[in-house]
Amino acid sequence: KAGVTQTPRYLIKTRGQQVTLSCSPISGHRSVSWYQQTPGQGLQFLFEYFSETQRNKGNFPGRFSGRQFSNSRSEMNVSTLELGDSALYLCASSLRTGGGGDTQYFGPGTRLTVL
Amino acid sequence: EDKVVQSPLSLVVHEGDTVTLNCSYEVTNFRSLLWYKQEKKAPTFLFMLTSSGIEKKSGRLSSILDKKELFSILNITATQTGDSAIYLCAVSKYGGATNKLIFGTGTLLAVQP
């Protein structure tokens, strides 16, 4: 069974631009979560989607948004990029949502660099 | 505020050594504690612990949870250079219909030949 895939793997943008990252979960998984990983803050939760609905959102500004499609694929968008948005963005999928009972499996991440 | 703290932050050992990585947590409505290994990009799942005192084992790796003292340890015996990685500890909570994980900052393990 194929794992979680993320595209693109690397991105270089300049301040003020916007970016869209994509995540395809493991086949059959319906929950997708996004995390931002930086050297200083570690992994921080961005948001989670299940059945095309956002189920939870972390403490990030409104410039960070996401969505999920009917095939469970998810995208996240960051508008008006800032230098501090440079990070590894990780997507994780799990079979379902509901109280934290499911193991999450991570994709390889998208390395975003903002110049 | 929910908190997950890992120690040490980094560790250098020689092949064959045994290492113990620590994870302590302060969260409300604790459900489970998970360990991941991150080598280059994708964190790979190692263990999920939900019950106190029950050791989980996979090859040279083992882990145990103490829900009274609010910590977990990850042991790696007979370390190999391939064990070099960042080891992440994360906690999930009951409630809110969410799989959100709260992560510690990780322990960077370097195994020298």
Quick check: helix, strand or coil at residue B81? Answer: helix
pLDDT-based confidence at B51, cuts 50/70/90? confident
Q: Do B42 and A107 touch (CB under 8 A)?
A: yes
pLDDT-based confidence at B110, cuts 50/70/90? very high
CA B95, B101, B104, B105 dihedral sign is negative
pLDDT-based confidence at A115, cuts 50/70/90? very high
Of the candidate ranges A18-27, A77-86, B24-33, the one whose mean pLDDT is the lowest: B24-33
Q: Do B99 and A102 touch (CB under 8 A)?
A: yes
Residues 45-64 of B with CB under 8 A from A: 45, 48
* DSSP annotation of B82: G
Structure tokens at A22: 């994509």
Structure tokens at A71: 């095939």
Identify which has the larger pLDDT, A94 or B80: B80
pLDDT at position A97? 58
Nearest to B42 among A41, A101, A109 (CB): A109
CB pairs under 8 A between A and B: 83
- pLDDT exceeds cutoff 70 at A99: no
Question: B9, B44, B99, B1: which is closest to A46 by C-alpha?
Answer: B99
pLDDT at position A98? 54
Structure tokens at B77: 């015996």
Q: Output phi, psi for A84, to 5 deg.
A: -70, -5
**pLDDT tens readout for residues A33-42:** 999 999 888 8
**Percent of chain A predicted with pLDDT > 70:** 95
CA B44, B100, A17, A85 dihedral sign is negative
Mean pLDDT for B18-22 is 98
What residue has token string 């370390």? B79
pLDDT-based confidence at A2, cuts 50/70/90? confident
How many CA within 13 A on the CB side of residue B5?
A: 7
Give the whole-angstrom CA distance, residue B100 versus residue B43.
Answer: 15
Beta strands across the sheet bearing A19-24: A5-7, A19-24, A74-78, A64-68
In terms of DSSP H, where are the helices of chain B? none
